[in-house]
Amino acid sequence: MDAMSNAAARKQAMKPKTRTLTRTFGIPRPWEPGTTAIATVTARDSVDIRYAITRAATEWARTPSGAEATAHHLAHGLDFSLPELSAHLADPRLKRALRRHGILRLTVQIVEGYGEPWDFDDTVVDFDALATATQRTSNRTRPKPARTPPPR
């Protein structure tokens, strides 16, 4: 190993490890009930995710591919939000911009007809069914009475 690559290896080893955090968000479209963007983001631990995505997307919009992707929205006064951005996540310039702002991985899935089937505090254990099942099990495991032999 030459002196340059040895020095680079030492420098890399001395860098503190970056802690990352992966979070998943359900982002509903208020005016279209049941349509939700499910975003999964892996970011550096200290990053404000929404702010970082906005900064990176704005930076990317200044590139030729970003300007082309956002031109229609800009010309018609439309928002360019997460669903629109998700169509361009494979763009290397967007990936680099996201990484520079601390977003290491971003996936977005648009789900239509999505509705939460329960509330935060809804119970997920049916204690009545549990008691019935426990009672049936205990009936099966009771020792059977000893059989007395038939009279001779």
Query: Are the CB atoms for 59 and 134 separated by under 8 Å?
Result: no
Residue corresponding to tokens 């359900």? 26
Which of the given ranges, 58-67, 76-85, 121-130, has the highest pLDDT on average?
58-67
* Residue 131 included in any domain: no
**Which pair of tokens denotes residue 55?**
């900064």
- The verdict on residue 124 lying in a domain is no
- What is each CA distance from 70 to 63, 74, 81, 86, 100, in whole angstroms? 10, 6, 10, 12, 20
Task: With respect to residue 135, please indicate whether it lies within any of the assigned structural domains.
Answer: no
Residue 132 is assigned to a structural domain of this protein: no
Domain span holding position 32: 8-115
* 55 falls within a domain: yes
List the single range of 20-24, 122-126, 143-147 with lowest mean pLDDT.
Answer: 143-147
The proportion of the chain whose per-residue pLDDT surpasses 90, expressed as a percent, equals 39
> How many domains does the chain divide into?
1
Separation of CA 70 from chain center: 25
Task: Say if residues 44 and 52 touch (Cβ distance below 8 Å).
Answer: no
Whether 77 maps to a domain, the answer reads: yes
Residue 32: inside a domain: yes
Strands 103-111 and 36-44: antiparallel
Q: Does residue 62 fall inside a structural domain?
A: yes
Residue 1 confidence (pLDDT)? 52
